[in-house]
Amino acid sequence: MDRRELLKMIALLTGGAVIGGEVFLSGCKTGAKADAGFSASNIALLDEVGETIIPATASPGAKAAQVGEFMKVMVTDCYTGKQQAVFINGLAELENACKKMHGRSFMECTPQQRHDFLLSLEKEAKDFNSKRDEEDKAKREIHEQTNAKLLRKDQVEFEQSPSHYYTMIKQLTLWGYFSSKPGATQALRHVPVPGKYDGAYPYQKGDKAFS
């Protein structure tokens, strides 16, 4: 699976374009902060959140793919300053919301509590992003009207408002996992030297997708 196809798959699963995806495909850096403010505890938290999203089964989970470290690199290199701020501040919001729901930090929660908490964040993120899209639609129309009055060299591209922080975390978890060696070779069926396309290749229910 090439990078562009992987990003399309993640966009479909998370209901929106992958943040930083186009920047990544064209080559990071964004010019935002060289150090987005990640700590070792942030990375450990992201590993555990990722493991709740993609737990280890017969295949390794997200933690084995070191998704926390992957997120640090992608947020630092491919996110704008606004997106970086939402992501980093979102980690504190995640902990506060978890304590409010379960009376303890995410790292102290049981696997079931973590699962239930992320389900609540999933719904919160979906509602947040829907409202964001509605508000951005009106802003985009005004922006395009303003651009139409300017010379081409003075026009600026519209910047969508950042997604909910959990959407960012989930997208990066999927991206980091399925582009990693464990995800590509064990969760997916890996063909190191692809052969010809076979549209009639036999498939049985439950077969893994190809990487």
**Structure confidence by residue, pLDDT tens digits, 139-152:** 888 878 887 777 67
Q: How far is CA 169 from CA 75, 96, 174, in A?
A: 10, 16, 9
The 8-class DSSP code of residue 58 comes to: S
The pLDDT of 165-189, averaged and rounded, is: 79
CB 203 within 8 A of CB 76: no
210: confidence class by pLDDT, cuts 50, 70, 90? very low
Higher pLDDT, 56 or 28: 56
Question: What's the rounded Cα separation, in Å, for the pair 181 and 200?
Answer: 28
pTM (two decimals): 0.76
Which residue has tokens 């010019």?
Answer: 31
pLDDT of residue 5: 80
Question: What's the rounded Cα separation, in Å, for the pair 38 and 57?
Answer: 29
CB 42 within 8 A of CB 76: no
Which amino acid type is present at position 76? T
CB 69 within 8 A of CB 172: no
Residue 186 has pLDDT above 80, yes or no: no
